[in-house]
């Protein structure tokens, strides 16, 4: 390649800088999205590394679902250092000022936690007040919800505490965790007085440890020494490194997912680039033909424009990377509620390099195909204005080879961003299907309009519609870019509706909407009386017996853990399970194997139980296998008599192991009652009275679950919508690009119309018809795909009914059409203003 | 200088075929000026394209300055044009993004030659555009654009100059000036000129007129300038 090619590439681009600026803009946002997300991920990892110890607030944490045994206590004491004891459980908290209660996460603490990081409270020293009396620190969000202030009281179990501080943040925990389960800190010494921790209650016992030598080496050798001892004592040990790994996994997945959402913006930009270059090269045919006449070789002509495309790719990627670096300042604010650490701004060179590499690669891939058409421009075109018809399908084998290269390049970029072959591959296939469908629809629409052309309608409508299938039309590219953007955003909205609908369906008539649990046997009758005073009767009244599994077919759990055939879930090994007994199956259960035995034939013999299908398969059980349970210290030998399928989505107590009547009746137990209240007001009133009279009883109110789910889903979908905006804006830039790229042709048409007497209003009306129809079709196609995706998600993932929300369809449709019309007309504004003579002279 | 032997050009479109040139042969001498004339559709432009190596004949062969164009690749043909041929087009065909002087320099820059600006300036001055070196084509009138095209055609010292209706897009006064300039420079440079036109007055200014009709040579006559 000689200097002539470089010089021509530069000179040739000078007069086209405006047009090239739009090519550049096509990839700017895609690269910006990638750079901002990857930089954010890098900064997050750095923050996690820098603030590692604050993730736990201690050097390590030991926890167990059962009370620490004397041996465990002795072992923990022998480690020394500073230690904080905590007992964690869920319970209702009643706020007398608001006369209202809510299920909360109680943390009864004693000690200097946190040892690293800050427990942020208002007032700042509020934590120390826990040592001074019956004081409590309450989650800020919860206090705002109930309109209570510092100095007001909260009743937990039998104890009324004075609120001495608002909890703003806890080291290593995000705000979202507080939304799901608002936290209340109380002094450990007051725990017993609450009366909430009783046999069978689900409670975590936690010990935060700060070592005298908290170095990584010391911690690592201590962990090695403690691991076998902890395992023997059924203690779980969580170190900073463990937490970092798990956070790294979670946020790694999040940033990868967001990167893939951002990558779509880049792909849309790629489509824009391909279409713009296609039009650009068409305008360059005579220039290339003249150059060829003067002796420019085919490869030289090609290189001139390849250099221009590469140059604009580089400029676009650099601009995108710069914007990306700036956008990442906003991201922590967007994701703030999910972050367990504070993130500082930092430039990640590796993120910039990755974003620019992928940006330039995508530009090159999409630009190459229209560029190779230069090879076929004959010098003869300089002396002869020939009209060469193009077939719909490219016959040039190089073009087909390039399609293969484009596909391989997109697959490689997907794999690089997904960091997981399977996910990256299916992502690529999804993209391929969506793009192919959109492309095919665009192609079909142009042809359908040609066939069903409204010959009898007015001049402006006929002209506008004809623009959809004329040479150099924008139909396919517009359907692809706008359609994909609409598809992406609509899928998010629709999936959110599906998720919320699913909860709403449970709110349907006759379904339970209020659950009381942890009811002691002696509280059952008085509680039933309270319910009766509200005209309520439980739909289900279920006894709960806690137990531990100790052996399967004679093999102890320790032996089973080493057995690869049976995958013992951690929860089964570590904690007590809750089971029930009854003589019939509930509406949510179906026996799929064996036979359900309603009453045990011999209470002292082998007890026939029923096992849930998933666990049955996970444990690799067979009918007739024996399982030994330890129920409050007494061994019970059971046999698997049946397997049940359970619909876990229903609001009703469901169980993995189901005992027949005639065995567990004498065992210590508590009850769960499930009912349906008439409305939310009745639910609130009955909850208040129950919590006041039976402080240990907890309630799950479906209205609350719904509002919590809605709030969390809204926060998550806000983050995804933020990323999807990159795609939408890219779609609009591509729209501007295609409008401007085809302006030359429009200009000539408009000038001719103007010369023949068309008024400004008529020219604008023709364009409006075209853009409105394009916007309508793009939105319709995108929505069609989104609804198909949402149907698939509901059917296959949530296994629920999908009911489309037609109001939302209308709003989205109107929005996309208005934006298309607005951007189309904004970019065509000066077409009518140009003088006819000037344009005809250019032609 | 230019040797055409049994040139036939047939275009195929699906099942149908159309022969626009039938077995054309002629020989053009060094330093001569020649005109190919004929009505629209007679095959003039097709013949020019074949002679200049812009297109491939269906049969027959062309040689320029002793180089046979048969079997040459597109790039080899481009190189022959760059080394030996100059072009002037009816619609000027200047590259719109290049200034006048840049347009003129293109053929020599292609060869990788350096220090060519003085030569380009001198040529533009010769054609009367010494003060419009850095103007873009859109800033020039039609006559001025054709003057730039003439300067560009002569910068590589071509042995053969093809002119396709060089005054076809110009008014009569400008046409006369451009004709004078073209023939004057042709004489000065000793270039062989092949002019395609349907303007018989212009053709009469050359030494030889080849008349085409329906793809056949109708006559081949020497003029009084011969």
Mean pLDDT calculated for residue range A76-80: 87
| CA distance to A108, A155, A207, A209, A242, per residue, from A60 (Å) | 18, 32, 8, 6, 9
Out of B89, B106, B110, closest to residue A382 by CB: B89
Q: What is the DSSP track for A518-541? A: EEEGGGHHHHHHHHHHTT---SEE
Alpha helices in A175-215 (DSSP H): 175-180, 191-194
d(CA B122, CA B188): 14
Alpha carbon distance A402, A282 (integer Å): 19
User: Residue A526: its pLDDT value, please?
Assistant: 93
Contact B4, B194 (CB under 8 A): no
Instruction: Give the Cα separation of A67 and A54 in Å (integer).
Output: 26
C-beta atoms of B74 and A286 within 8 A: no
Whether A287 and B96 lie within 8 Å, measured CB to CB: yes
Q: Is the dihedral of CA A289, A292, A293, A294 positive or negative?
A: positive
> By C-alpha distance, which of A324, A340, A279, A281 is closest to A306?
A281
Cβ of residue B44 closer than 8 Å to a chain A Cβ = no
In A, minimum Cα distance to B102 occurs at: A11
Closest-CA residue to A341 (of A141, A711, A45, A139):
A45
At residue A65 the predicted structure's pLDDT band, cuts being 50, 70 and 90, is: confident
Cβ atoms of A324 and A352 closer than 8 Å = yes
Look at residue A608 in the predicted model and tell me its pLDDT: 94
Reply yes or no on whether the pLDDT at A389 is more than 50.
no
Q: Where are the alpha helices (DSSP H) in A619-701?
A: 680-693
pLDDT at A575: 65
Mean pLDDT check: name the lowest of A68-77, A258-267, A547-556. Answer: A258-267
DSSP A303-340: HHHHHHHHHHHHHHHHHHHHHHHHHTTTHHHHHGGG-S
Instruction: Judge whether B100 is closer than 8 Å to chain A, CB to CB.
Output: no
Residues A146 and A100: their CA atoms lie apart, in Å, by 8
Would you state the pLDDT for residue A246? 78
Nearest 5°: CA angle at A802, between A799 and A807?
A: 155
Q: What percent of chain B has pLDDT over 70?
A: 100
A389 touches chain B (CB under 8 A): no
Output A735 or A775, whichever has higher pLDDT.
A775
CA gap B20, B207 in Å, rounded:
26
**A151 — pLDDT class (breaks 50, 70, 90):** very high
What average pLDDT does range A100-104 have in this prediction? 84
> What average pLDDT score do residues A47-59 get?
82
Residue of B nearest to A384 (CA): B45
Is the CB of residue A706 less than 8 Å from the CB of residue A503? Answer: yes
Q: Which of A12, A13, A293 sits opposite B54 (nearest CB)?
A: A293
Q: Does A384 touch chain B (CB under 8 A)?
A: yes
State the Cα–Cα distance between residues A833 and A322, nearest whole angstrom: 36
- The gap from C-alpha A587 to its chain's centroid, in whole angstroms, comes to 32
Query: Using the beta-carbon criterion (under 8 Å), do A290 and B95 form an inter-chain contact?
Result: yes
Q: What is the pLDDT of residue A528?
A: 92
Q: Contact A287/B106, CB-based, under 8 Å?
A: no
CB A702 within 8 A of CB A687: no
Q: For residue A338, give both structure tokens.
A: 């999910």
CA atoms within 13 A on the CB side of A820: 29
Contacting residues of A for B55, CB less than 8 Å apart = 378, 380
pLDDT band for position A190 (50/70/90)? very high
Comparing A93-102, A139-148, A800-809, B143-152, which segment has the lowest mean pLDDT? A800-809
Put simply, the answer to whether B97 touches A13 (Cβ < 8 Å) is yes
Q: What is the pLDDT of residue A166?
A: 93
Q: Which residues of B touch A283 (CB under 8 A)?
A: none
For residues B178 and B146, is the Cβ–Cβ distance under 8 A?
yes
User: Which residues does chain B have within 8 Å of residue A383's beta carbon, measured at their own beta carbons?
Assistant: 45, 48-49, 54, 89-90, 164
Size of the A and B interface in Cβ pairs below 8 Å: 87
B72 touches chain A (CB under 8 A): no
Tokens of residue A52, six digits? 């590692």
Say yes or no to pLDDT of A626 above 60. Answer: yes
A605 has pLDDT over 70: yes
Separation of alpha carbons A489 and A511, rounded Å: 32
Kindly report, residue by residue over A483-512, the tens digit of the pLDDT.
Answer: 877 787 777 677 667 666 665 555 556 677
Q: Which band of pLDDT confidence, cut at 50, 70 and 90, is reported for residue A265? A: confident
Predicted local distance difference test score (pLDDT) of residue A391: 43
Question: Which residues have CB under 8 Å from B119's CB, separation 6+?
Answer: B108, B155
Question: Quick one: which of A378, A368, A364, A428 has its CA closest to A399?
Answer: A368
In this structure, what token pair is assigned to residue A644?
């049940």
Q: Which pLDDT band holds residue A843 (cuts at 50, 70, 90)?
A: very low
> CA-CA distance, A330 to A159, in Å (whole number)?
44
Q: Does residue B179 belong to the interface with chain A, where contact is any CB pair within 8 Å?
A: no
Judged by CB atoms closer than 8 Å, whether chains meet at A295 and B49 is answered as no
3-state secondary structure of B17: strand
Strand partners, A95: A100
For A755-772, what is each residue's pLDDT tens digit?
666 777 777 888 888 888
Question: What tokens does A457 get?
Answer: 């309608």
The end-to-end CA distance of chain B, in Å, is 17
Per DSSP, A170 falls in state -
* The overall pTM is greater than 0.80: no
- Cα A277–Cα A279–Cα A280 angle in degrees, nearest 5: 60
CB contact (8 A) between residue A382 and residue B93: yes
> Could you give the percent of chain A with pLDDT greater than 90?
13
Residues of B in contact with A15 (CB under 8 A): 96-97, 136
Residue A385's pLDDT is 61
Longest CA–CA separation in chain B, Å? 55
B164 touches chain A (CB under 8 A): yes
Contacts of B20 (CB under 8 A, 6+ apart): B9, B10, B11, B43, B46, B215
Cα of B46 to nearest chain A Cα, Å: 9
Encode pLDDT of A276-318 as tens digits: 787 788 778 888 999 998 889 888 899 999 888 888 889 999 9
- Do residues A356 and A323 make contact, with C-beta atoms less than 8 angstroms apart? no
Q: Is residue A176 predicted with pLDDT exceeding 60?
A: yes
Region A339-353 average pLDDT: 81
Nearest to A286 among B93, B102, B112 (CB): B93
pLDDT at A743 over 80: no
Can you name the residues that pair with A516 across neighbouring β-strands? A673, A699
Q: Which of A440, A267, A288, A299 minimizes the C-alpha distance to A366?
A: A267
- Smallest Cβ–Cβ distance between B110 and the set A12, A15, A296 belongs to A296
In chain A, which residues have their Cβ closer than 8 Å to the Cβ of B102? 11
pLDDT tens by residue, A444-453: 887 888 787 7
A2/B164 touch (CB, cutoff 8 Å), yes or no:
no
Question: Any idea how long chain A is?
Answer: 843
**Residue A92 structure tokens:** 């209702």
> Residue A560 class from Cβ within 10 Å (0-12 exposed, 13-18 middle, 19+ buried)?
buried
Structure confidence by residue, pLDDT tens digits, A531-562: 999 888 888 888 989 888 888 888 887 777 77
CB A574 within 8 A of CB A658: no
Other beta carbons within 10 Å of A71:
12
Buried b (16+ CB within 10 A) or exposed e, B8-37: bbeeeeeeeeeebbeebebebeeebbbbbb
Which one has a higher pLDDT value, A387 or A180?
A180
What's the rounded Cα separation, in Å, for the pair B58 and B65?
Answer: 22
Q: Which of A15, A300, A383 sits opposite B164 (nearest CB)?
A: A383
Given this model, what pLDDT does residue A595 score?
A: 92
Q: How open is the CA angle A302-B48-B155, to the nearest 5 degrees? A: 65
A297 interface with B at CB cutoff 8 Å: yes
Contact A736, A827 (CB under 8 A): yes
| C-alpha triplet A787, A793, A799: angle, nearest 5° | 125
Asked if A580 and A658 touch (Cβ cutoff 8 Å), the reply is: yes
CA distance A839 to A308: 26
| Interface predicted TM-score (ipTM) | 0.82
State the Cα–Cα distance between residues A611 and A658, nearest whole angstrom.
Answer: 7
3-class SS of residue A477: helix
Percent of chain A clearing pLDDT 70 (strictly above): 85
**Quick one: pLDDT band at residue A141, thresholds 50, 70, 90?**
confident
Looking at the partner chain, which of B93, B109, B112 has a beta carbon nearest the beta carbon of A290? B93
User: How far is the C-alpha of B57 from the C-alpha of A253, rounded, in Å?
Assistant: 63
- What is the pLDDT, as a whole number, of residue A472? 62
Please, are residues A506 and A706 in contact by the beta-carbon 8 Å criterion?
A: no
A199 inside 8 A of chain B by CB: no
Higher pLDDT residue, B130 or A197? B130
For A615, the token pair is 């666990």
- Closest partner residue to B95 (CB to CB) among A287, A379, A841 is A287
Average pLDDT, chain A: 81
User: CA-CA distance, B73 to A482, in Å (whole number)?
Assistant: 44
Cis, bond preceding A546 (omega within 30 deg of 0): no
Which of B97, B100, B140, B160 should be substituted to probe chain A, the one whose Cβ sees the most A Cβ atoms within 10 Å? B97
B14 touches chain A (CB under 8 A): no
> What does each C-alpha distance from A341 to A168, A411, A831 come to in angstroms?
13, 34, 53
**Disruptive mutation site among A17, A283, A285, A294 for chain B (greatest number of B CBs within 10 Å):** A294
A835 inside 8 A of chain B by CB: no
Question: Is A297–B75 a contact, with Cβ atoms under 8 angstroms apart?
Answer: yes
Within 8 A by CB and 6+ apart from A235, the residues are: A62, A63, A64, A68, A72
- Which residues in chain B have Cβ-Cβ distances shorter than 8 Å to A835? none
Q: What is the DSSP letter of A793?
A: I
Sign of the Cα torsion A658, A659, A660, A665 reads negative
- Residue A791 pLDDT greater than 70, yes or no: yes
Mean pLDDT of chain B: 90
- Two structure tokens written together for A199: 């046999």
Interchain CB contact of A13 with B (< 8 Å): yes
Contact between B222 and B208 (Cβ < 8 Å): yes
Task: Tell me which residue in A14, A295, A300 faces B81 most closely, judged by beta carbons.
Answer: A295
Mean per-residue pLDDT, B55-75: 90
Q: Test B112 with A286 for CB contact under 8 angstroms.
A: no
Across the interface, whether the CB atoms of A383 and B49 are under 8 A apart is answered yes
Q: Is the pLDDT of residue A116 over 70?
A: yes
β strands within A227-331, DSSP E: 236-239
């Amino acid at each position: 390649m000689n200097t002539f090619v470089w010089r021509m590439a530069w000179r040739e681009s000078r007069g086209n800088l405006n047009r090239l600026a739009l090519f550049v803009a096509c990839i700017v946002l895609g690269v910006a999205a990638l750079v901002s997300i990857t930089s954010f991920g890098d900064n997050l990892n750095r923050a996690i590394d820098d603030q590692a110890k604050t993730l736990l607030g201690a050097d390590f944490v030991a926890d167990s679902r059962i009370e620490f045994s004397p041996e465990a206590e002795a072992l923990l004491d022998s480690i020394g250092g500073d230690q904080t004891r905590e007992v964690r459980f869920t319970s209702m908290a009643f706020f007398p000022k608001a006369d209202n209660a809510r299920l909360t996460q109680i943390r009864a603490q004693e000690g200097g936690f946190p040892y690293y990081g800050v427990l942020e409270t208002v007032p700042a020293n509020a934590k120390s007040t826990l040592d001074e009396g019956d004081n409590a620190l309450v989650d800020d969000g919860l206090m705002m919800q109930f309109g209570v202030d510092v100095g007001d009281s909260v009743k937990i179990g039998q104890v009324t505490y004075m609120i001495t501080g608002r909890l703003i943040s806890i080291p290593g925990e995000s705000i979202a965790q507080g939304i799901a389960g608002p936290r209340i800190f109380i002094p450990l010494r007051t725990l017993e007085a609450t009366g909430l921790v009783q046999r069978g209650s689900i409670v975590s016992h936690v010990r935060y440890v700060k070592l005298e030598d908290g170095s990584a080496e010391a911690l690592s050798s201590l962990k090695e020494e403690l691991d076998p001892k902890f395992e023997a004592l059924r203690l779980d040990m969580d170190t900073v490194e463990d937490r970092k790994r798990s956070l790294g996994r979670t946020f790694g997945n999040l940033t990868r997912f967001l990167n893939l959402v951002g990558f779509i913006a880049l792909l849309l930009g790629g489509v824009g680039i391909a279409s713009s270059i296609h039009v650009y090269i068409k305008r360059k045919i005579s220039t290339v033909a003249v150059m060829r006449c003067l002796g420019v070789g085919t490869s030289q002509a090609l290189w001139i424009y390849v250099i221009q495309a590469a140059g604009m790719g580089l400029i676009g990627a650099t601009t995108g990377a710069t914007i990306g670096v700036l956008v990442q300042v906003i991201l922590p604010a967007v994701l703030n509620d999910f972050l367990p650490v504070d993130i500082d701004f930092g430039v990640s060179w590796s993120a910039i390099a990755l974003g620019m590499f992928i940006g330039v690669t995508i530009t090159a891939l999409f630009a190459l195909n229209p560029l190779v058409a230069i090879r076929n421009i004959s010098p003869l075109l300089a002396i002869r204005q020939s009209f060469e018809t193009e077939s719909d399908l490219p016959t040039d084998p190089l073009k087909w080879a390039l399609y293969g290269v484009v596909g391989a390049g997109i697959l490689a970029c997907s794999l690089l961003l997904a960091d997981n072959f399977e996910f990256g591959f299916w992502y690529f296939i999804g993209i391929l299907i969506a793009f192919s469908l959109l492309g095919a629809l665009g192609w079909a629409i142009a042809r359908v309009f040609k066939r069903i052309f409204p010959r009898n309608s007015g001049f402006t409508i006929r002209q506008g519609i004809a623009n959809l299938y004329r040479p150099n039309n924008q139909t396919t590219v517009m359907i692809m870019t706008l359609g994909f953007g609409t598809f992406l955003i609509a899928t998010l909205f629709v999936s959110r509706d599906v998720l919320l609908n699913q909860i709403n369906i449970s709110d349907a008539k006759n379904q339970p909407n209020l659950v009381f649990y942890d009811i002691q046997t002696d509280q059952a009758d008085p509680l039933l009386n309270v319910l009766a005073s509200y005209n309520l009767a439980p739909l289900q009244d279920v006894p709960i017996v806690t137990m531990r599994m100790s052996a399967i077919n004679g093999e102890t759990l320790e032996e089973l853990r080493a057995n690869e055939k049976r995958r013992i879930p951690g929860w089964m090994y570590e904690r007590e399970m809750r089971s029930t007994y009854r003589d019939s199956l509930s509406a949510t259960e179906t026996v799929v194997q064996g036979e359900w035995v309603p009453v045990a034939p011999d209470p002292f013999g082998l007890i026939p139980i029923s096992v849930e299908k998933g666990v049955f398969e996970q444990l690799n059980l067979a009918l007739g296998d024996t399982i030994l349970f330890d129920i409050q210290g007494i061994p019970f030998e059971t046999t698997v008599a049946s397997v049940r399928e359970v619909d876990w989505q229903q609001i009703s107590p469901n169980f993995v192991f189901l005992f027949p009547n005639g065995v567990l009746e004498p065992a210590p137990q508590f009850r769960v009652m499930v009912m349906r209240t008439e409305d939310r007001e009745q639910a609130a009133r009955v909850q208040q009275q129950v919590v006041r009279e039976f402080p240990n009883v907890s309630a799950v109110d479906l209205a609350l679950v719904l509002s919590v789910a809605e709030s969390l889903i809204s926060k998550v979908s806000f983050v995804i919508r933020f990323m999807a905006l990159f795609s939408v804006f890219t779609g609009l830039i591509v729209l501007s690009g295609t409008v401007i790229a085809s302006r030359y042709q429009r200009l000539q048409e408009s000038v001719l119309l103007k010369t023949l007497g068309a008024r400004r209003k008529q020219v604008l009306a023709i364009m409006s018809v075209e853009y409105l129809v394009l916007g309508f079709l793009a939105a319709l196609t995108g929505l069609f795909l989104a609804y198909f995706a949402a149907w698939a998600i509901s059917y296959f993932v949530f296994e629920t009914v999908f009911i489309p929300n037609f109001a939302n369809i209308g709003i989205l449709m109107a929005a996309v059409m208005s934006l298309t019309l607005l951007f189309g007309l904004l970019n065509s504004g000066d077409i009518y203003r140009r003088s006819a003579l000037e344009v005809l002279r250019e032609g | 200088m230019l040797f055409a032997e049994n040139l036939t050009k047939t275009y195929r479109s699906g099942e149908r075929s159309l022969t626009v040139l039938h077995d054309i042969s002629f020989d053009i001498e060094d330093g001569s000026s020649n005109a190919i004339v004929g009505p629209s559709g007679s095959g003039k432009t097709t013949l020019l394209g074949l002679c200049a190596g812009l297109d491939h004949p269906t049969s027959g062969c062309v040689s320029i300055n002793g180089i046979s164009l048969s079997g040459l690749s597109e790039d080899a043909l481009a190189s022959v044009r760059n080394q030996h041929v100059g072009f002037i087009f009816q619609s000027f065909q200047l590259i719109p993004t290049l200034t006048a002087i840049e347009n003129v320099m293109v053929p020599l820059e292609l060869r990788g030659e350096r220090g060519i600006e003085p030569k380009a300036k001198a040529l533009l001055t010769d054609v009367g555009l010494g003060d419009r070196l850095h103007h873009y084509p859109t800033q020039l009138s039609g006559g001025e654009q054709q003057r730039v095209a003439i300067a560009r055609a002569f910068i590589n010292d071509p042995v053969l100059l093809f002119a396709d209706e060089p005054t076809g897009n110009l008014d009569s006064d400008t046409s006369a000036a451009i004709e004078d300039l073209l023939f004057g420079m042709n004489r000065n440079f000793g270039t062989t000129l092949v002019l395609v036109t349907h303007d018989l007055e212009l053709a009469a200014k050359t030494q030889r007129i080849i008349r085409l009709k329906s793809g056949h040579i109708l006559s081949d006559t020497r003029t009084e300038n011969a």
